Structure 1
Amino acid sequence: MTAAVRADDPEELLTRRVLGALHREDVLGLRSAAALEERPDGVWLRGGRLALPVTEDGFQSRWTARRPLLEVDGRPLTGLDEILAAVAGLADPRDRDGHTAFAEECRQALATMRLHDLARPAVLDGLAERLGPDPADWTGPAASLGFDTLAAYLDHPVHPAGRGRAGLTDDQLRGHAPEFHPAFELRWLILPEAAITRHGAGTLPGWWPAPADLGEPGPGFALPVHPLTATPGLAAPVPGARLAERPYLTVRPTLSMRTVAVVEDPSVHLKLPVATATLGLRNRRTIKPGSLVDGAAGQRLLEAVTAREARFAGTVLHADEQCFAHAGHELLAVLLRRQPAGLDGSVTVPLAALLAPSPGGRTVLDHLADRFHGGDVLRLYDELLQLLLDWHTTLFSYGIALEAHQQNTSLVLDRPGGRTRMRLLLKDDDGPRLNTTRLGELAPYAEAFDDARIAGTDDRPVTDLFTTITGHLCTGALAFGLAALGRAPLARTLGLLRTRLTEAVDRLGPAGAPLRTALLDAPDLPVKAMVTAGTLLSKERSGAADINKHYTTGPNYLLEAPR
């Protein structure tokens, strides 16, 4: 998540972010066909019929939109709808539907931003009353959901309309989205046992209902269903299935919204399909059965690496994602995720929440630094860099890169014996990239994945994923965010990032050469092209094999003399 910005009008803020993304992803040649132009008010980029006022960025694009304005044929357009309609009118006719869909995503995001502005003060007051005024004291699995709530108010570092969720009303958001910290009950679908595929040893938790507990006598398996997915036609794909009338089991949403924590057993999360989309029209929040297989396979692979690399045994924790069930349909599935034991006295905070304002206005990072690092925010950032980069570069030496972005990676802090201990907690291991030529004795683990895109024999998909996730979203975003918040000059935060990354790559010896070439020394870095692949263009038009791993390029802020 990006750092908080000044309190702009939501439409102006969103319009600048949208224009910045359209430039970064070179929509209508706003990047490749544009030339710099000096005007009395500052720098512009002009290309063909379009002109955009810009300012230097440096993170994932050299330039970004300076004002919420796009000039078309010399006519200034300032309203978001007006701008997007003009862009759609100039687009290739084959892409018009995608542009129409993106405009709707932006309208949904804007409505959500306005809803956030209204709701946020009361939500933060409620968190302070329930969990305490200092987030550094929010310990245990239940309290960690408060950090998910804080993170949900921040914008995504890449996608401009990341706060939008397709097709949901304000009431549905208030009742089920993490930024409102609601509690609600699940619905349950009774399925014939023969229709269910189950994975994972051991018994289900004691609170898992039998059909009779839901007022549905007779045999069958009770599958939890998110209330937003519990439509009358949900049972149709499975003969003999029926939706129980009685709701059961109170839960709260995590940052991902489709994953919920059980209130009476908060170390257990249930990942459930939700019939919506975020971060792009094609980024649906359903659950393909194969992704459950891949998540379990990914966890086993990571634990095998940890077993071989003893220094990570106590510092990198893995959520247990071996238990899941599905009925062969993307709306009929559940992952039962168990958090590691022993976190009751720890502060567990997703990286996405570190720059979020907390009750009282200070960032979560400020509070954590006060308690665990003597008030030194940079010291905390440095320690995080050392652990995170050591882990991910070690994985690279095995040919592994993870989709362990700022939502899937949590910082775990506590003080056993009075000394600060930092650990990482990883979840959602279903989207890695593997170079099987590096796996060595771990090569058999690659055969367990369902998605054929995961395993290959090339370093490039691995370095691309490392750069865009570990680089941009987990470490680079914090370097730029800390500078934007005035905690340290950008040259210092980026210098620290380059130093720690160089040290981590050096430890690999010759095995780290491709990572050095692709990340430390390259003139440009891959950057996610989320709007293009997720909404504007079809897969046939964009060529995206995976919408979450489709890239453009941006400046390398890790070079010795970054701009």
Structure 2
Amino acid sequence: MSASNAQQYAETQIQQALVDGLLAEGFFDKVETEWFSAQEAESLIGQLPEYHQLVSDSAQRLWRWHYDAKAGLALVMLLRPGVTQAWEKVPGSRVLQQRQQGQALAWEALTPQRLIRAVYQGMNALTDTLDADELTAGQQVFLDALAVSEWQTASSVDHRVDTQRLLERSPAEFFAIMEQWASLLDRPYHPTAKAKEGMDEQEYRAYMAEFAQPVGLRWVAIPRERMLCGAGVAEGDQGPVAWVADEGLRQRLDAQLRERGLADSHVAIPVHPWQHQHALPKWLAEDFEAGHCVTLEVSDERWLPTSSLRSMAPVDGSAHYLKLPMAIYSLGASRYLPAVKMLNGDLSARLLHQARAKDTRLVEGLHLCDEGKWWAYMPPEATLFDEAPRHLSAMVRSYPQALLDDPSYRLIPMAALGTPLPEGGHHFFDDWLAQRGEAITAQTVSTLFGELCECFFDINLRMFRLGMLAEVHGQNAVLVWKDGRCDGLLLRDHDSLRIAVSRLEQHGMQDPCYRIKKGHSNTLYHDDLEALLFWMQTLAIQVNLSAIIDTLAGHYEIDAASLWQVMAQAIDTQIEAIPFEDEDRAMLREKLLNAPGWPYKLLIAPIIERAGGPGSMPFGKGETTNPFRQAGCAASHDRKIDTEENVAKESEALERKSLEREAQESVA
């Protein structure tokens, strides 16, 4: 992809997420806007050839906001009814600025940065405290992240991830490629998700998963007496070396420790090179100067970045991965690795193992990474909530060995299924259907998606019944695929297991007593299952599965609403099959399938409101539409879809597309 095409692709992707986010979060609810049907806006649309071609649905509306009436400036967009929100930008359409020049109108397409500046200008003009062109600190923070997201997205899509012959590769090689694929988008629907602030272009290309560049980790020795360790670390443990170092590296590290007289008193832990260069001198300079922490002159280049950036995959196919702190700014938060998070992860892991013992299906289908092997620098005067120590720590994350050794298994980060490739032409469902020997049709694609949903909700709703829900957005939730079937779900990042204590106790489990800073809000504890459901509606469905639907719909030219119907059926089936109490079953059907509205996890406004600073990813709670009702899944809803007719039409279109693709490949 050429640099100009990559930039255009990046701006198009970000613009869609930005406009949809602004609409969903109600940024325009308190300003006076105009809505026109195609007929009502015929004179305007006639001046906009691209809109004239895109207006193909009577439900679409031309939207206009005179954000600076004195200067004759207005924003104009083409919108359509959405599924996960009431209105969304018509995909492929640009946001235009209209300028009144006498009796004539001049038009200009806006980039995401130009758009958000116009929005700020219009919003700030409504206040008494700001000039129209003056930015608040939070507005500048978001604008900066948007600018970084644009160039970094363009850099990523300019590089092609090799996704050919996926099922011919080993399970470890397959997993590494799927992590690269998942990294291309990072988090769907978040306009600044790709922004990794603090890295220049050379560092970005060196450390992002999609570029598949080996990373040379540094090693630092820290005193045993100034260290906290995880539940999986035994007394006298050799540290991460025992799990991730080959014989050559082990000998080099041992030699360095002996030469410096540290062999008996210190433990060597790996450090990301970016962290060693940028963060440790800022946060722990005094500890290094005092000799408490010592850099060892050893480099370890056997690692590849994964989709989460600070998690590293071994190049030798080992089951032992690394998670390391990186003080880059991403999704409105610094990516450090504090001991308190890992302590909470140990507590969560204990609960997850208890849950597996209470449900035979969870024994079979719920797979867990071992995240109990961790080491964190902790000076005697520090607390769990201090900033500096959290920049020097390491976790060995061990994947179930059998899932990487058995060639019939494949591990698929669900984010990869919800990430379209920039060049198009491929989705893992292509490989999946080929493995089954089935043709690509709307029906077969829908069948695979249905099987995925049944497996996903079978595991998550069983955990939910027991009073817990993992953070199952697409990056943390890994689909376990075996011989062409969804076999289960693998969970990682256990520190975000959310719970309802009353329900845990009902099933014979106890409050894990998470370590939470006094006076600070938390998202781990919830009063009941209804409160816990927020995370299933938002992270599991609106983020994870919704992105998969949009990607499948775009790649296979399938009506997205039909896939929402498939998901609704899978949810309803699992609600019936899992042994819920009648009251819980009724609550789930009402809140998930029948309620007119759903909660919505705000993305843009919280970043602007917090204006930087420490803490995890900022978020807020809003309201949006119920996607199942929007997609015609509820009997009382007036938007019906003739599923059989749609499937037939879509199958014909897919067959044509398949023939065209074969012709193109034969020419190539």
Task: Give yes or no for the alignment of 1:44 onto 2:62.
Answer: yes
- Find the partner of 1:434 among 484, 488, 499: 499
CA distance in 1 between partners of 2:615 and 2:270 (Å): 31
What is the identity, as a one-letter code, of the residue corresponding to 1:252? L
Amino acid at match of 1:196: M
Distance 1:489 1:338 in 2: 40
> Could you report, residue by residue, the CA deviation over 1:155-177 in whole angstroms, capped at 9, with x for unpaired residues?
63220122221121111111111
Equivalent-residue separation in structure 2 for 1:326 and 1:183 (angstroms): 25
Q: CA–CA distance in 2 between the matches of 1:247 and 1:167?
A: 22
For 1:69, the equivalent position in structure 2 comes to 95
Residue matched to 2:20: 20
**Compared CA separation, residues 467 and 444, structure 1 to 2 (3 A):** same
User: Residue 172 of structure 1 aligns to which amino acid in structure 2?
Assistant: E
1:231-259 per-residue CA deviation (whole Å, 9 max, x = no partner) reads 36154363521222322352111110100
Deviates more, 1:91-100 or 1:508-517: 91-100
Q: Which has the larger radius of gyration?
A: 2
- Structure 1 window deviating more from structure 2 (136-145 vs 304-313): it is 136-145
Which one of 236, 241, 252 corresponds to residue 285 of structure 2?
Answer: 236
Residues 441 and 13 from structure 1, CA distance in 2 versus in 1: closer, same or farther, beyond 3 angstroms? closer
Q: Aligned residue for 1:313?
A: 363
Helix, strand or coil for the counterpart of 1:156? coil
Q: Which amino acid aligns with 1:517?
A: E
Give yes or no for the alignment of 1:349 onto 2:349. no
Counterpart residue type for residue 18 of structure 1? L
1:186 counterpart letter in structure 2:
L
Q: In 2, distance between residues paired with 1:501 and 1:71?
A: 43
CA deviation after TM superposition for structure 1 residue 76, in Å: 5.8
User: In the alignment, which of 76, 79, 100 is matched to residue 55 of structure 1?
Assistant: 79
Unaligned runs of 5+ in 2: 46-54, 56-60, 68-73, 101-105, 379-388, 517-521, 641-668
1:510 is matched with 583
Secondary structure, in 3 states, of the residue corresponding to 1:22? helix
Cα distance in structure 2, aligned partners of 1:421 and 1:476 = 18
Cα 1:47–1:460, aligned 2, differ >3 Å: closer, same or farther?
A: farther
Residue 316 of structure 2 corresponds to which residue in structure 1?
A: 264
> Does the CA contact (< 8 Å) of 1:301 and 1:442 recur in 2?
no
Distance (whole Å) between structure 2 residues aligned to residue 136 and residue 547 of structure 1: 35
Any residues of structure 2 matched to 1:284-433 within 5 Å, and which? Answer: 284-328=334-378, 329-343=389-403, 344=405, 345=407, 346-356=409-419, 361-372=425-436, 374-375=438-439, 376-415=444-483, 420=485, 422-433=487-498
- 1: CA distance between counterparts of 2:314 and 2:217? 10
1:434-464 CA deviation, whole Å, 9 max, x = no partner? 2211112556543242235412323343111
TM-score of the superposition, structure 1-length normalised? 0.87
Equivalent AA in structure 2 for residue 166 of structure 1:
E
1:528 counterpart = 2:601: yes
- Percent identical residues: 20
- Give the corresponding residue for 1:476: 546
Task: Give, in angstroms, the shift of residue 498 of structure 1.
Answer: 0.7
Alpha-carbon distance change, 322 to 9 in structure 1, aligned in 2, over 3 angstroms: closer
CA distance in 2 between counterparts of 1:86 and 1:443 reads 55
Q: How far is 1:294 from its partner?
A: 1.8
Q: Answer yes or no: is the 8 Å Cα contact 1:138–1:144 preserved in 2.
A: no
Q: Structure 1 403/386 Cα, relative in aligned 2: closer, same or farther at 3 Å?
A: same
Q: Distance in 2 between matches of 1:175 and 1:386?
A: 38
Contact 2:85-2:625 at 8 Å conserved across structures: yes
Specify whether residues 489 and 13 from structure 1 end up closer, same or farther in structure 2 by C-alpha distance, changes over 3 A only. Answer: closer
Count of equivalent residues: 541
SS in 2 for 1:83: helix
Q: Secondary structure at the match of 1:514?
A: helix
C-alpha RMSD of the superposition: 3.1
Cα distance in 1, alignment partners of residues 159 and 398 from structure 2? 31
Q: Could you tell me whether the CA contact under 8 Å between 2:334 and 2:615 is conserved in 1? A: no
> 1:157 maps to what in 2?
188
Corresponding residue for residue 212 of structure 1? 254
Deviation at 1:104, TM superposition (A): 1.3
| Unmatched segments (≥5 aa) in structure 1 | none
Deviation of 1:107 after TM superposition, in Å, equals 1.2
Q: CA deviation at 1:51?
A: 4.2
Q: Aligned residue for 2:625?
A: 555
Distance, in Å, in 2 between the alignment partners of 1:6 and 1:262 is 30
Question: Does structure 1 residue 537 correspond to structure 2 residue 612?
Answer: no
Q: Quick check: 1:436–1:455 contact (8 Å CA) kept in 2?
A: yes
For the residue of structure 1 that corresponds to 2:85, the secondary structure is: coil
Query: 1:318-365 CA deviation, whole Å, 9 max, x = no partner?
Result: 111111111142211212110012122121111111244679932122
Q: Distance in 2 between matches of 1:383 and 1:303?
A: 25
**Residues 407-455 of structure 1: CA distance to partner in whole angstroms, max 9, x if unpaired?**
111122223xxx8462221111212322211112556543242235412
Contact 2:139 2:611 in 1 (8 A): no
CA positional deviation for 1:184: 1.6
Find the aligned partners of 2:32 and 2:514 in 1 and give their Cα distance: 42
Contact 1:235 1:242 in 2 (8 A): no
